[in-house]
């Protein structure tokens, strides 16, 4: 032992590693990676970086990266402003880092900058993949084919009960200038964070079970940050909205933000208050059309009466003076008939408008919803059938083994010398059992 070189302490060894890194790796490096975990503490941001194999999707590299408060306070706002969302698990990023080794805390990469344009490109690519998938499934424009009921007054609302946007929406409907009555029911959901997709889908499922009770669905969000909109850019949520049997109106973002959910919805507006204004304006338009139809009928009647008056005047002018009394009586009777006819038309119009409202409220929405519900059910059945398609398993890397045309589930089904077929995504393998 005395002949051996004196051993180093752990601190001395780590100090040697630190000095080596500082000398040999003094520069900063740009690195592409996926975030497996992101958390903030005391103004600092701590990240877990990961790289996965492209084929197997198993991790092949991991590293820890830290962004200290003085840099994070500059990087975070710029990143969220450009991308529309904050850093989250599963996101692909490009980081500028330099190496740091501490005797007590070990090795980590220190983040100097984040290239938001790289993340935006990845987000745009994933969004386009979702849109292409929806178009391939033939569901992207299904909502646009639905018709809003003539009297859209029964509204199912998907929102957070505590959101300011929901309160603004309800207040504007209740205090509309026309005195219209709306029936709204809230189906509470999480509208920001990682639970948006599952929560909104659950709310839609609850509405679908009572679809005949509503005319339209409104998904609104207000008061949250733009960085929380990523939950509305998912394939599962877009598929649920696209296949929903009732028209869906969205008011979840701001003027410059458009999610995939907005794209597949029946109508997209900017904010919750804009959604309320849309419903009020539509009902006002229906009322105006009914009133306009009545006014046109009155004008037609009065025009016809004027023409009849002119014809009577022309005939009366040819009657001798001694028959002027008959003329006067005829005019008086004509005036009475005109007044009665105008009153009769007004009464008929009022009764027709009332009947139209009842028919529009009860019959047409019921038929439309029943058709839409059946269409939705058929679409879901089609999705279930497709999910059971063995070809999908093959495409995911699985295989099917057959013997004499039958699926082999147990090796005991086979004997030595048996010929088997293994079906893959691309082709068939034939094998002989040796033992």
Outline where 175-271 has alpha helix (H).
196-208, 235-242, 260-264
Of residues 356, 173, 154, the one with CA closest to residue 281: 173
- Helix 272-317, helix 324-387: angle, nearest 10: 150
Q: What is the pLDDT along the chain (435 residues), one digit of tens a residue?
A: 455 678 889 988 888 998 998 888 889 999 999 998 999 999 999 999 999 888 887 889 999 999 999 999 999 999 988 877 788 888 889 999 999 999 888 899 999 999 988 887 777 788 888 999 999 999 999 999 999 998 999 999 999 988 888 989 999 999 999 999 999 999 999 988 778 899 999 999 999 999 999 999 999 987 555 546 777 888 999 999 999 999 999 998 665 567 899 999 999 998 999 999 999 999 999 988 887 665 667 677 677 777 777 777 777 666 555 556 556 676 777 788 778 877 887 788 788 777 767 766 665 666 677 778 778 888 787 777 676 666 776 777 778 888 887 888 888 888 888 888 888 878 888 888 887
Angle at the Cα of 52 from the Cα atoms of 105 and 63, rounded to 5 degrees? 10
Round to whole Å and give the CA distance between 391 and 397: 10
Cα 65 from Cα 114, distance rounded (Å): 12
In CATH, 137-280 is 3.40.50.2300: yes
d(CA 328, CA 335): 11
Cβ within 8 Å of residue 44, ≥6 positions away: 66, 67, 68, 69, 72
Phi then psi dihedrals of residue 336, to 5 deg: -65, -45
Tokens encoding 112: 């100097």
Give Cα separations from 391 to 87, 102, 397, 423 (angstroms).
37, 53, 10, 10
C-alpha to C-alpha distances, 338 to 114, 160, 295, 311, 347, nearest whole angstrom: 81, 58, 16, 15, 14
Long-range contact set of residues 36-44: C-beta below 8 Å, sequence gap at least 24: 36/62, 36/89, 36/90, 37/89, 38/87, 38/88, 38/89, 40/72, 42/69, 43/69, 43/72, 43/73, 44/68, 44/69, 44/72
* Tokens at 256, concatenated: 């410059």
Domain residue extents for the chain? 10-128, 137-280, 289-387, 393-432
**Contact predicate 382/228, CB 8 Å:** no
pLDDT at 195: 86
Those residues with Cβ within 8 angstroms of residue 33's Cβ, 6 or more apart along the chain or in another chain: 49, 50, 51, 63, 92, 93, 95
Angle formed at CA 50 by CA 98 and CA 15, multiple of 5 degrees: 40
The pLDDT, as a whole number, for residue 3 is 55
Would you state the pLDDT for residue 237?
94
Instruction: Describe the chain by its helix, strand, coil percentages, rounded to 5.
Output: 50, 20, 25
CB 202 within 8 A of CB 231: no
252: phi then psi, degrees, rounded to nearest 5:
-115, -10
Place of tokens 């008056």: 309
Contacts of 307 (CB under 8 A, 6+ apart): none
Check if the beta carbon of residue 127 is closer than 8 Å to that of residue 259.
Answer: no
Which pair of structure tokens corresponds to residue 179?
């005195």
Its sign, for the CA torsion 334, 336, 341, 342, is positive
Beta bridge partners of 67: 45
pTM beyond cutoff 0.75: no
E strands within 27-141?
28-41, 44-52, 59-67, 92-102, 106-114
Distance CA 85, CA 92 (A): 13
Residue with tokens 């059309």: 289
Domain 10-128 has CATH 2.40.50.140: yes
């Amino acid at each position: 032992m005395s002949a051996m070189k004196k051993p180093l302490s752990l601190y001395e060894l780590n100090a040697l590693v630190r000095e080596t890194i500082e000398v040999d790796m003094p520069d900063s490096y740009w690195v592409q990676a996926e975030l497996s975990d992101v958390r903030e503490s005391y103004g600092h941001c701590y990240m877990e970086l990961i790289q996965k194999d492209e084929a197997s999707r198993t991790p092949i590299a991991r590293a820890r990266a830290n962004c200290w408060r003085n840099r994070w306070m500059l990087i975070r706002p710029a990143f969220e402003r450009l991308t529309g969302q904050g850093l989250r698990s599963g996101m692909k990023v490009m980081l500028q880092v330099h190496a740091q080794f501490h005797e007590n805390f070990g090795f980590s990469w220190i983040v100097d900058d984040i290239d938001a344009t790289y993340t935006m490109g990845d987000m745009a690519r994933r969004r386009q993949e979702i849109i292409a998938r929806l178009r391939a499934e033939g569901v992207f424009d299904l909502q646009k084919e639905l018709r809003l009921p003539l009297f859209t007054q029964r509204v199912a609302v998907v929102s957070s009960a505590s959101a300011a946007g929901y309160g603004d929406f309800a207040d504007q409907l209740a205090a509309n200038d026309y005195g219209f009555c709306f029936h709204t029911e809230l189906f509470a959901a999480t509208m920001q964070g990682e639970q948006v997709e599952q929560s909104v889908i659950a709310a839609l499922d609850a509405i679908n079970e009572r679809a005949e009770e509503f005319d339209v669905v409104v998904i609104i969000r207000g008061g949250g940050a733009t960085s929380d909109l990523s939950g509305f850019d998912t394939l599962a949520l877009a598929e649920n909205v696209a296949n929903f049997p009732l028209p869906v109106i969205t008011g979840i973002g701001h003027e410059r933000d458009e999610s995939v959910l907005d794209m597949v919805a029946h109508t997209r507006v900017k904010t919750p208050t804009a959604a309320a204004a849309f419903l009020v304006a539509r009902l006002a338009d229906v009322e105006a059309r009914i009133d306009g139809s009545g006014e046109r009928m009155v004008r037609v009647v009065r025009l016809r009466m004027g023409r009849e008056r002119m014809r009577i005047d022309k005939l009366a002018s040819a009657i001798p003076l001694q028959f002027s009394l008959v003329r006067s009586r005829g005019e008086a009777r004509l005036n009475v008939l005109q007044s009665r006819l105008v009153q009769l038309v007004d009464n008929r119009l009022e009764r027709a408008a009332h009947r139209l409202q009842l028919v529009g409220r009860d019959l047409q929405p019921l038929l439309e919803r029943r058709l839409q519900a059946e269409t939705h059910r058929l679409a879901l059945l089609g999705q279930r059938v497709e999910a059971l398609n063995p070809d999908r398993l093959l495409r995911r890397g699985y295989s099917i083994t057959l013997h004499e045309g039958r699926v082999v589930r147990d090796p005991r089904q086979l004997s030595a010398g048996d010929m088997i077929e293994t079906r893959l995504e691309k082709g068939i393998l034939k094998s002989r059992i040796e033992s």
